[in-house]
Structure 1
Amino acid sequence: MDSATSEKSIIALDSWLQTPAGAYVRAWEQRLLDELTADIFGFNALQIGTPQIDALAASRMPNKWLADTRLQRGTPPATARSATLSFDASELPFASQSLDLVVLPHVLEFAAEPHQVLREVERVLIPEGQLIICGFNPASLWGLRKMTARITGAHYLPEAGELISMPRIKDWLKLLNMGVSHSHFGCYAPACRTEPWLARYAFMDRAGTRWWPYFGAVYVVQSIKRVKGMRLIGPAWSKKSGKAPVAVPAANKHEEPVARGTISVLESQKSSDG
């Protein structure tokens, strides 16, 4: 998928999100994203794409940005918020290890280079920074409808774009040392086009989470950036004295702070002199 096709796909997704099925998806994802982001702490958070969903509404981070991935915005949808940034998701204009949270709502399946998008996100996340991905599940009734649409021509989901399964997403994240912490499925109703029919199948949302949890129409994956070789280092101990180093008194405010390693060396020398 080239960049022009990707942009057309995103515009098609904007139109689809205004349909009853799109509102159904937006409502479920908004509730879940509010629940997830409220418990993630830090300073800088970024949402890329899908301005119809306020993925950072419940986030308590002081700096929050919404980025649009379209080069030519045109007339924004009625339910969309104004983006503060506009760029190509495969080249993020942020310094390495500068963001605490990144949210990708339906970006990867409509991106020209989804692998490059993930690599860029991994680059800009701080160690232990978090990534949340929303996507359509190909192993669902909606995914089956998309497959049959290639033959019948009756498209339900946006025609362009490649649905990416959750196991595939997890494999990509694993290659980037991104550990998956939580995963969720939702929207179990069949591929209905009208609100009354979607409402008739509301019971499937209650039953689906219990009886067929992996067949929801959409999923959300939450992952954490792991950095190999990093570990917490405890206080240094003197091998000769076998005693723990003495900390600098908190009341002594006129002296320069001394690092733990320096204290350990001083204690070791003191012990050897004695």
Structure 2
Amino acid sequence: MDHRLPEKAIIALGPWLETPVGSYVRAWQQESLDMLTADIFGFNAMQVGLPQINALQANRMPNKWLTDTHLPKDGDGNDSSRIVVVHDFAELPFASQSLDLVVLPHVLEFAEEPHQVLREVERVLIPEGQVVICGFNPASLWGLRQVTGRLTGKHFLPQNGEFISLPRLKDWLKLLNMEVNRGHFGCYAPPCMTEKWLTRFDFMEEAGERWWPYLGAVYIVQAIKRVRGMRLIGPAWTKKPAHARQGVPVANRIQKHK
């Protein structure tokens, strides 16, 4: 079965992030991802797709990679020497249980088989490894605008995205023995296209977090891979030195040739 991401959908999301509303989303996500990933420790971290967001910018792991289906353009903000190009996000070139952290910024929404991508992420994560997922919230004003846009032909968000509700995502994670640790909602402004109107609705960020916290246009979920019957003693990253991890040589060989 072909699990490739629709090329047009991926191409559409990048330019959308350069629009005023896309920049608004990107700024909130970058700040939130920096806060979430700064204190996740280990040796090996990977971002899957969307090089316009540097999801591992604040993380301090020694080995960090961006996995994408093509080389990013100049100015995307990621180190090109750390790029691992793949044909399919459902077939990652890392050994099982070799990564401490995986970040998925809006990848699942544009995958033809998102649960397959999530299964692959579970495979490459070590026990107690963590995954961070960004997504558009269909239960929001933006989600409602997107539904009406499909009827009228005037789309507010990239039209090929299949936005996943948070309860549905939690069910998928639970089936893979991934325990949701933290979650954040943001971007409470109405679906405005111009910077002028987005600025006018700045006050809604604080009001939204207080009065309607689950109606933010974007969410970020952090989950931990649990292994039944396993008991860790001490920090997980003291179990093996970095050079002993399986799977890392694949990415290292790619890095050295750059």
Normalised to the residue count of structure 1, the TM-score between the two structures is: 0.80
Count of matched residue pairs: 230
Q: How far does residue 166 in structure 1 lie from its aligned partner after superposition?
A: 0.7
Structural RMSD (CA): 1.8
Q: How far does residue 55 in structure 1 lie from its aligned partner after superposition?
A: 0.5
**Over 2 Å off, 4+ runs:** 2-5, 75-83
Match of 2:249 in 1: none
Q: Deviations over 1:2-26 (max 9, x none)?
A: 7676121010001101101110000
Q: Do residues 214 (structure 1) and 232 (structure 2) align?
A: no
Query: How many angstroms apart in 2 are the aligned matches of 1:191 and 1:86?
Result: 34
Pairwise mapping of residues 1-274 of structure 1 onto structure 2 (< 5 A)? 6-70=6-70, 76=73, 78-79=75-76, 81=78, 82=80, 84-87=83-86, 88-231=88-231
Preserved contact between residue 48 and residue 69 of structure 1 (Cα < 8 Å): no
Query: How many angstroms apart in 2 are the aligned matches of 1:170 and 1:134?
Result: 13
Preserved contact between residue 208 and residue 216 of structure 2 (Cα < 8 Å): yes
Q: Deviations over 1:212-242 (max 9, x none)?
A: 0000000000000000111258xxxxxxxxx
Amino acid at match of 1:173: L
Amino acid at match of 1:114: P
Amino acid at match of 1:76: K
Preserved contact between residue 3 and residue 90 of structure 2 (Cα < 8 Å): no
Residue identity over aligned pairs, in percent, reads: 70
Match of 1:245 in 2: none
Query: How many angstroms apart in 2 are the aligned matches of 1:219 and 1:21?
Result: 16
- Which segments of 5 or more consecutive residues in structure 1 lack a partner in the other structure? 234-274
Query: How many angstroms apart in 1 are the aligned matches of 2:6 and 2:60?
Result: 32
Query: How many angstroms apart in 2 are the aligned matches of 1:49 and 1:6?
Result: 13
Structure 1 residues 48, 228: closer, same or farther in 2, change over 3 A?
same
Q: Deviations over 1:68-116 (max 9, x none)?
A: 134xx5x837545346111111001100000000000000000121011
Query: How many angstroms apart in 2 are the aligned matches of 1:127 and 1:209?
Result: 33
Query: How many angstroms apart in 2 are the aligned matches of 1:4 and 1:130?
Result: 24
Q: Secondary structure at the match of 2:50?
A: coil
Query: How many angstroms apart in 1 are the aligned matches of 2:177 and 2:211?
Result: 32
Structure 1 residues 3, 124: closer, same or farther in 2, change over 3 A?
closer
Q: Secondary structure at the match of 1:46?
A: strand
Q: Secondary structure at the match of 1:135?
A: strand
Normalised to the residue count of structure 2, the TM-score between the two structures is: 0.85
Q: Deviations over 1:146-166 (max 9, x none)?
A: 100121111010011200011
Structure 1 residues 59, 78: closer, same or farther in 2, change over 3 A?
closer
